[in-house]
Amino acid sequence: MYLLLGGNGYVGSAYRKYFEANKIAYQSFSRAELPYTQPGVLEKHLKNNRPDFLINCAGYTGKPNVDACEADKANCLFGNAVLPGILAEACASADVPWGHVSSGCIYTGCKADGTGFTEEDPPNFSFRTDNCSFYSGTKALGEEVLQDAPRLYQWRMRIPFNHEDGPRNYLSKLMRYARLLEAENSITQLDEFVTGTLACFEKNIPYGLYNFTNPGHITTRQVAGMIEAAGLAPHPFSFFSDETEFMQKAAITPRSNCILDSSKLAKAGIQLTPVVEAVQDALARWIPEVKK
């Protein structure tokens, strides 16, 4: 039996949907139902219910985007850096293995040779490098808080998308924004993230950090072109001339745009679809929000 925290969010909902569709036993609680941030509550629940694996999708992302974190720093810090530590203590005490949805948004750019960052590279878009959004800072601190936690997977997701239109879906965001920022990114197909993360536990791969992005990288212009080719562009795409204009006109805090190397995951036996193919597939099966 799986225990899911944060099951009402964008990522958590994808787990619930998968569990329901595949008749997999799980529990999912909101903080109101199980006040798991309070001392002792989660530990007691784990000891009484003995889930096989806990999945933490709870966190603070900022709505509609990461700018919102700048105005709500304490809650952002709590959700992304303190809460993981609370969960780690409870899971260690109850000896329950678990997985935490971390973020690849703690990097910017790529390595000097043009390749992606591996799990060995320290974050370069964090408080410690003093160049980040508050959100990215808290996610990197969360990894620090968890660095010695036993029996833990930290899965670094980036810019989730799938075939279902919605306000948190990267492809939908590109369709809905008035103007776009050209950038090169590694990104994560949400449904493959769900099945792939569950496979970590099922296949018993080694615990630790995993860059959980679809192999390769893709530019905003590439994705925009694919949306146009699929006949899904609501209007001709318009781009900011550069990041400076984007920051001046549309953003409060800097964004992470980065390339990650996901080969550690592949070597552990978990293969995700190459990124261009994954985007094409999502667009081919696209379900507009109004029709859902």
Residues of this chain that bind its own copies (CB under 8 A): 38, 73-75, 77-78, 81-86, 88-89, 126-130, 137, 141, 144-145
Helix (H) / strand (E) containing 140: helix 134-145
Q: How far is the CB of 5 from its own copies (least distance, A)?
A: 15
Q: How far is the CB of 247 from its own copies (least distance, A)?
A: 19
List CB contacts of 86: < 8 A, sequence separation 6 or more.
36, 37, 42
Q: How far is the CB of 55 from its own copies (least distance, A)?
A: 19
d(CA 244, CA 248): 6
Cβ closest to its own copies, residue 10 vs residue 78: 78
Q: How many residues does the chain have?
A: 292
Q: How far is the CB of 209 from its own copies (least distance, A)?
A: 17
Under 8 Å between Cβ of 29 and 55: no
Q: How far is the CB of 39 from its own copies (least distance, A)?
A: 10
Cβ closest to its own copies, residue 92 vs residue 230: 92
Cβ closest to its own copies, residue 139 vs residue 264: 139
DSSP calls for 183-206: -EE--EEHHHHHHHHHHHHHTTPP
Under 8 Å between Cβ of 105 and 125: yes
